Amino acid sequence: MNHSLQWLVCCLAGVSALAWAEKFENLYVSFNLPDGWKCQREGTEFVCHAPNPSNRDHAAMMIMTAKVPGPDDTLAAYMEHLGKIAPAKGASVVKPSARVNLQGTLWVDATLLGSEVPNYYTRYMATVKDNIAVLYTFSVHKSRYQDFAGVSMLAAQTLQVKPRPALR
């Protein structure tokens, strides 16, 4: 079995074992959360953690933030910025930035290793829509990457930017 097919089978097996209990929703975004994940507001961000019975370091987390877009908040600028993060922080590019369409919204999507925390993969997704700039990240320790691959995929596939009225 080739590597791509093995990865797909692994992800699908992980996805089928997940129970999706609730939807995370704030003023700007919504997406499905797996059972046991908890989200809380921390300043201007919302942080969601995987269940952590040992109360040790978190194996995986999602962070969302949003703001009124400025002149530098464009998909092209996000792609350029993500392209500069890896060399600047000594990180590795796992999946280079690309534009993806999710739920009718165009996002910039990239995955880096070691860009936020050493030994953590971080998937970055950013968009500008309906007068709001949104950044969503999903970080997972590299030793648990396969355990959370399905969570990352399904959360991103259900990620929606909520409509916002035009600014006056």
Of 115, 69, 112, 109, nearest to 89 by C-alpha is 115
Per-residue pLDDT reduced to its tens digit, 40-80: 999 989 998 888 766 666 789 999 999 999 999 999 999 99
Which residues of the chain, if any, have pLDDT below 50? 1-19
Specify the pTM.
0.81
- The answer to whether domain 3-161 has CATH 3.40.1000.10 is yes
- N-term to C-term CA, the chain: 56
**What's the pLDDT at 17?**
39
Rg of the Cα atoms in the chain: 16
Domain boundary assignment for the chain: 3-161
Structure tokens at 120: 């953590």
**What's the pLDDT at 4?**
39
**What's the pLDDT at 6?**
39
Could you give the CA distance from residue 66 to residue 162 in angstroms, rounded to a whole number?
11
**What's the pLDDT at 10?**
41
